Amino acid sequence: MDYSDNADNNNNNENPDENDSDLEVSDILNFHTEKGTVIDPQSMTFSISGEEHTLGNALRYMIMQNPEVEYCGYSIPHPSEDKLNIRIQTTENTTAINAMRKGLEDLKSLCAKITETFCEANNKFDEKNSIS
């Protein structure tokens, strides 16, 4: 993952116009694209502050389930920086941002589903134990 980031950075330095400086976003938000990682809409590195492996690995897995995603990896660049980077590269049929959207939505529904499953199991267990 670091390798691909570096490759992008080099590329952007050669073509400064393509390095969209508009993408610099205020740090107040917990979500932004990492500087210098966007060359086209199909490949981006997102940076999420305040998150770590807990969300990173699950989200990475979910995004990888999307057949239009060619690459997805996450890293925590440095332990003293409270941030998580997620790199997504997709086919021409979608964009990295849409893959991220879909990943989040899918993870959310999976989480909701497991919650529901747990509630059911809990109720079932209560019933069984109140009878006996």
Residue ranges that bind another protein, judged by CB under 8 A:
20, 22-23, 25-26, 29-33, 38, 40-41, 44, 48, 51, 53-55, 57-58, 60-62, 65, 95, 97-98, 100-101, 104-115, 117-122, 124-125, 129
In angstroms, give the least distance from the CB of 89 to another protein: 15
> Closest CB to another protein among 7 and 121?
121
In angstroms, give the least distance from the CB of 6 to another protein: 21
Q: What distance, in Å, lies between the first and last C-alpha atoms of the chain?
A: 55
In angstroms, give the least distance from the CB of 126 to another protein: 8
> Closest CB to another protein among 29 and 131?
29
**How would you write the chain as a 3-class SS string?**
CHHHHHHHHHHHHHCCCCCCHHHCCCCCCCEEECCCCCCECCEEEEEEECCCHHHHHHHHHHHHCCCCEEEEEEECCCCCCCEEEEEEEECCCCCHHHHHHHHHHHHHHHHHHHHHHHHHHHHHHHHHHHHC
In angstroms, give the least distance from the CB of 67 to another protein: 10
> Closest CB to another protein among 2 and 20?
20
> Closest CB to another protein among 10 and 125?
125
